[in-house]
Structure 1
């Protein structure tokens, strides 16, 4: 379908009628003869063409110039861009406990690690495909996706991008962390992801954060003596980060993959586990999101399926990378008409008085 780059120029189309009218009304130069009695009353077809041909062709030339300025073009349907989706950052826990192989991905399958199960579910959520239970995920190619990983310290593993293949390569290379990076810093991980989403320059684009963790926020810099000195940053608590997200209209979905406290846990351990789960629930509620509890592949896929339904993007008109431009053809046609009319006025359409 033909469209225009600057359709405002089409408002000048009536100028073509003005040009034709003015040229018809103007007094034309002519060949002068002392006696025209020999010509008789010769007002045949050529005379009509001479009277109306110039105004009509010049009017058409003016119209073609206006259309050329409007930039006529036709999209190359072989180069469509995906419809614009949401801006999504995944904050993924990669602490040592995420390497625990206690997640049943499907019925009668060998348990996989929590990190591997999270990786598989995230791929189905974004790339689409058939889940183990037979249900199908629709792909989300229009979503800008980013990845923040965290243990004791969060870091951006992949900034927001539409190149999902690059994103998946980064996800495939993730490994659980331990040693000096042991811990679960949920508050700062949320803050890091919020910073990435706040950089999105389209105010109409929905910004969504998905947090998946199997533990509780347990990194507190203010507990360290040096952290109380001026100039030393402290760790954000999850609820503080959630308030920041709410202020910036960032919706947070949380997935608790930690399961129940193991048998033989002390009352303090049980209370800590329940408090961590409640904190994730509060984070989601503060940002109009939703909290999920997932200890199996089925639970994870159910959570992502619900998130996908809640963050469904409306279909939009297709956008194309390339167009076939036709302004040069219309400008060329206008030039040919002007030159042809000029030549005809001096030959076949020459007036005699």
Structure 2
């Protein structure tokens, strides 16, 4: 049993002065005039049972007060326990949102496929702080590290190509992700960097950003998204959307170097199923390691205690006004 308001239990200390006052009043109520004892003339077994029970009403009242304090502390039972594992892993997802992510070699396009798979990944990491960084020619933080995955998933819906200047600044995106996680106190710090291109802008080189990540003990998993060869790319025209095949260029050498430098791994996603498998593999690689036990359901138990308080007070009133009634 646990208590929702355990500090109220300190009120039980008030029973000590109440009991002391009762003993003091009992002592003061004794007759001060001493007379000869009649003990020699008293027959065995003639003492009234009421004499032995004269303190019972007070005892019932003290017990009722004690139980009332327990009621105020709100006793609760926890009858549903579950075992879970957690290591306090913090994860920042760095996602490329350049216009090339609109290519439709993944369905419906690279960006939407990446968002869907990432959302499933987030839903499976309930114990982890997760943040989101997006980048194109520039980089900004879409969501800082948070355990509120509902907020994070809502912010995922808002990311689209074109909200920042077009380009692919892999080094800048990685450096921004590092700045968001470097001060974390978690036992394990991870960045998942997803891109479909080659670093072509930004003030920070990808390898330099990887060295910075290594300095802070951050592991980086890199994912190259795109099919082999060419991919259909939608181009708006006056006659509607036209498709043009564009070459798929992913700087795999740089992505592998980033992963190798930081102790992570590089993956290549050529379609939706391979992208799902990659996130599943990362999920397995970063499995939590510390077992904890927590309860998932609490049930209020104060009602039974409250009924017992009422019953004790009722018995006390009945005794004081019937068989144990005092005559002034």
Output the TM-score relative to the length of structure 2.
Answer: 0.65
Contact 2:227–2:271 at 8 Å: present in 1 too? no
Aligned residue among 188, 195, 208 for 1:213: 195
Match of 1:48, SS? helix
Change (3 A) 1:199 1:50: same
Q: Comparing both structures, which one devotes a greater share of its residues to strand?
A: 2
In the alignment, the residues of structure 2 paired with residue 61 and residue 23 of structure 1 have an alpha-carbon distance, to the nearest angstrom, of: 16
Match of 2:105, SS? strand
Query: What is the deviation of 1:301?
Result: 1.2
Q: Which residue of 2 aligns with 1:175?
A: 160
Aligned residue among 79, 98, 104 for 1:101: 104
Q: Which residue of 1 aligns with 2:258?
A: 283
Contact 1:90–1:145 at 8 Å: present in 2 too? yes
Deviations 1:197-242 (A, max 9, x none): 3565xx347443211011222224xxxxxxxxxxxxxx22223323
Aligned residue among 284, 288, 292 for 2:267: 292
Aligned residue among 105, 111, 116 for 2:112: 116
Contact 2:74–2:301 at 8 Å: present in 1 too? yes
Q: Which residue of 1 aligns with 2:236?
A: none
Contact 2:105–2:227 at 8 Å: present in 1 too? no
Q: Confirm whether residue 92 of structure 1 aligns to residue 95 of structure 2.
A: yes
- How many aligned residue pairs are there? 299
Aligned residue among 34, 42, 47 for 2:51: 47
Contact 2:61–2:312 at 8 Å: present in 1 too? yes
Change (3 A) 1:158 1:57: same
Q: Which residue of 1 aligns with 2:234?
A: none
In the alignment, the residues of structure 1 paired with residue 64 and residue 85 of structure 2 have an alpha-carbon distance, to the nearest angstrom, of: 39
In the alignment, the residues of structure 1 paired with residue 322 and residue 215 of structure 2 have an alpha-carbon distance, to the nearest angstrom, of: 77
Contact 2:79–2:295 at 8 Å: present in 1 too? no
Is the deviation greater in 114-123 or in 66-75?
66-75
In the alignment, the residues of structure 1 paired with residue 326 and residue 161 of structure 2 have an alpha-carbon distance, to the nearest angstrom, of: 93
In the alignment, the residues of structure 2 paired with residue 285 and residue 97 of structure 1 have an alpha-carbon distance, to the nearest angstrom, of: 26
Query: What is the deviation of 1:340?
Result: 8.2
Query: What is the deviation of 1:261?
Result: 6.8
Change (3 A) 1:29 1:324: same
In the alignment, the residues of structure 1 paired with residue 118 and residue 22 of structure 2 have an alpha-carbon distance, to the nearest angstrom, of: 70
Q: What are the within-5 Å matches in structure 2 for residues 1-353 of structure 1?
A: 2-5=1-4, 27=27, 29-30=29-30, 42-50=46-54, 53=56, 56-57=59-60, 60=63, 63-64=66-67, 67=70, 72-74=75-77, 86-103=89-106, 112-127=108-123, 139-177=124-162, 181-198=165-182, 203-204=185-186, 206-220=188-202, 235-258=203-226, 276-313=251-288, 316-318=293-295, 324=300, 326=302, 333=309, 349=324
RMSD after superposition? 5.1
In the alignment, the residues of structure 2 paired with residue 22 and residue 298 of structure 1 have an alpha-carbon distance, to the nearest angstrom, of: 78
In the alignment, the residues of structure 1 paired with residue 54 and residue 161 of structure 2 have an alpha-carbon distance, to the nearest angstrom, of: 87
Query: What is the deviation of 1:299?
Result: 1.7
Change (3 A) 1:146 1:13: same
Output the TM-score relative to the length of structure 1.
Answer: 0.62
Match of 2:294, SS? coil
Gap runs ≥5 in structure 1: 106-111, 128-138, 221-234, 263-272
Gap runs ≥5 in structure 2: 231-248
Change (3 A) 1:75 1:205: farther
Contact 1:88–1:145 at 8 Å: present in 2 too? yes
In the alignment, the residues of structure 1 paired with residue 174 and residue 296 of structure 2 have an alpha-carbon distance, to the nearest angstrom, of: 33
Change (3 A) 1:145 1:45: same
Query: What is the deviation of 1:151?
Result: 0.6
Match of 2:270, SS? coil
Query: What is the deviation of 1:292?
Result: 1.1
